[in-house]
Amino acid sequence: MRNELKASVTKRLSRIEGQVRGLARMVEDDRYCIDIITQIAAVRAALRRAEDEILKDHVAHCVEHAVASGDRADQRDKIAELVALIGRVER
């Protein structure tokens, strides 16, 4: 992972970590269910954005490198990884 992306994702994950701690406090404080669910949706959206950044970086560097290398086995492996990932993420 590129250094600038690593810093960005680490920062994003730290914010998400704070959101999750806030959710735990909301539950402990018996906050209104809809407010808790709204915050859970916000955490999921933030995680999706982090996932998207990492996936784009993977395609732009790891997959692109495999394609440029001409190594058919590496190309097949990278494509198979992406297909498997999409299958897992879609569930």
pLDDT in tens, 81-91: 999 998 887 76
User: Residue 62 has what pLDDT?
Assistant: 86
Please give the structure tokens belonging to residue 17.
Answer: 């970590």
Nearest partner of 49 among 69, 87, 19, 83, judged by Cα: 19
- What confidence tens digit (pLDDT) does each residue in 27-43 have? 999 999 999 999 999 99
Question: Rounded to two decimals, what is the model's pTM?
Answer: 0.80
Assigned CATH topology for domain 3-89: Methane Monooxygenase Hydroxylase; Chain G, domain 1 (1.20.58)
Please give the backbone phi and psi of residue 22, each rounded to the nearest 5 degrees, phi first.
-60, -40
Is residue 37 packed enough to be buried (19+ CB in 10 Å), middle (13-18) or exposed (0-12)?
exposed
Q: Which two tokens stand for residue 85?
A: 């990932």
The full set of domain ranges for the chain reads 3-89
DSSP type of residue 29: T
